[in-house]
Amino acid sequence: MKTIGLIGGMSWESTQTYYRLINQGVKARLGGLHSARLVLYSVDFAEIEALQHRGDWAATAQILGAAARSLAAAGADFLVLCTNTMHRVAPQLEQAVGIPLLHIADATAKALHRRGVTRVGLLGTRFTMEQAFYRERLEAQGIEVLIPDAAQRERVHAVIYEELCRGETPRLESKAAYLAIIDSLAGQGAQGVILGCTEIGLLIQSDDTDVPLSIPPPSTQNRRWRPPLRPLSHSACRRRPVGSATMEKPRRLTIWAVVPRRLGERSR
């Protein structure tokens, strides 16, 4: 069994999801008391977040590069970056160490290709939705990527940083806004939607939206686990009142929660 090097803490709310799913995947494959061999380097997200919003990606690359070298020295055979946004500096990380990085966009593209999907919506931080590092990696592999409009992107971004990364109880109006954005992407022809920020699982849950998710969100650890990137189709739309808001169910589409497949599992 190889040793996985995890760079986490961005935020820790989602890092626990990676840790849990990896170990559940190993147990499901090997059985018994087996668990993953891994080492985790958790950064201080406040420092990273400030640099992100200043646009100082070089400084974030230095911090994560040092983390990657520490993991390599601790015996990691390869790296997993437990964040979508910080794949913005994936090339610098690959240069910093002599071990491979499992790129989350590549894992996503492979899953989409297996299902014949060529056009998807993308939700995530503003950096992930607007900058080229994630979108162009998918487009280079034949996946057309749709993103929300400017106002919608600002709302998605704000909810992630001001609510989800802080571990606050998601607001009903935030959930309604996300569902409306998902519906808008479906209306533009998206065959599915990538949840390109793991924290979104704290907001969009199957019981709340009737949209089956491919993994359980971090806040529902006791629910039945489903394998990563195993999409399920959404049934017919209907309205459900939520507080003072009424949420329109997205039309028929599929949502992918972007967490790597069971590490070490062969494609089927």
Q: List, in order of start, the domains of the chain with CATH numbers.
A: 4-102 (3.40.50.1860), 105-257 (3.40.50.1860)
User: Which of 190, 192, 193, 219 lies closest to 205, judged by CA?
Assistant: 219
Q: 112 by DSSP, 3-state: which? A: helix
pLDDT at 208: 54
As annotated, the active-site residues are: 83, 197
User: Which of 234, 265, 266 lies closest to 251, judged by CA?
Assistant: 234
**Residue 136: is its pLDDT beyond 60?**
yes
Residue in this structure with the two tokens 């794949």, named with its chain if needed: 87
Q: Are 265 and 209 in contact (CB under 8 A)?
A: no
pLDDT digits (tens, 9 = 90+) for 74-116: 999 999 999 999 999 999 999 999 999 999 999 989 988 888 8
Q: Are 192 and 200 in contact (CB under 8 A)?
A: no
pLDDT digits (tens, 9 = 90+) for 15-48: 888 899 899 999 999 999 999 999 999 999 999 9
